[in-house]
Amino acid sequence: MTQATFPPTPGDRLIFENDRVRVWSMTIPANGMFDYHQHFHDHVILWPEAGHVQGQELGDDDWSLEQVAQPGYVAFKTVGSSGPLVPHRVRSLDDHPTTHYIVELISEKSPSETDLPTVSNDLGNVTDLRKRY
């Protein structure tokens, strides 16, 4: 598959859109997965409830990204104007369905040329397990 074949839909349901933002929900079943997708815009991720997921980037053998969220976790990701991000998929480590929300900033060009590390509040984190070695 080429990069162009991956959907630019970072959620399973578009719940709001205007000329400035696009808001998606992503509901992952218990121990389920949301398949490969890409992020083309800087975005905010909101977790109203706790969740624990792993991510796998295209071409990686391992699920090397881990996100742990407490209720109210908020993260901001700068994709950069040279984006999109590498296609990735997400799987839940929870024994119950989890839903989080992705707010894409679609009306303005990213202030950065490249993607930047995720910035978040103190209610969760994203860990790149490849950087532990």
Query: What are the pLDDT digits (tens) for 86-108?
Result: 999 999 999 999 999 999 999 99
Q: How many structural domains is the chain composed of?
A: 1
The whole-number pLDDT of residue 132 equals: 54
Strands 33-37 and 73-77: unpaired
Alpha-carbon span 29 to 85, nearest angstrom: 24
DSSP E strand stretches across 18-72: 21-28, 33-37, 43-47, 51-57, 65-69
Q: What is the CATH number of the domain that holds 18?
A: 2.60.120.10
In this structure, is residue 80 part of a structural domain?
yes
Range of the domain at 102: 3-122
Identify the pLDDT of residue 7: 83
Looking at the predicted structure, is the pLDDT value of residue 125 above 80?
A: yes
Dump pLDDT digits (tens) for 34-80. 999 999 999 999 999 999 999 999 999 999 999 999 999 999 999 99
Q: Are 64 and 76 in contact (CB under 8 A)?
A: no
pTM score, two decimals? 0.91
Residue 131 in domain:
no
Burial (CB count <10 Å: 0-12, 13-18, 19+), residue 80: middle
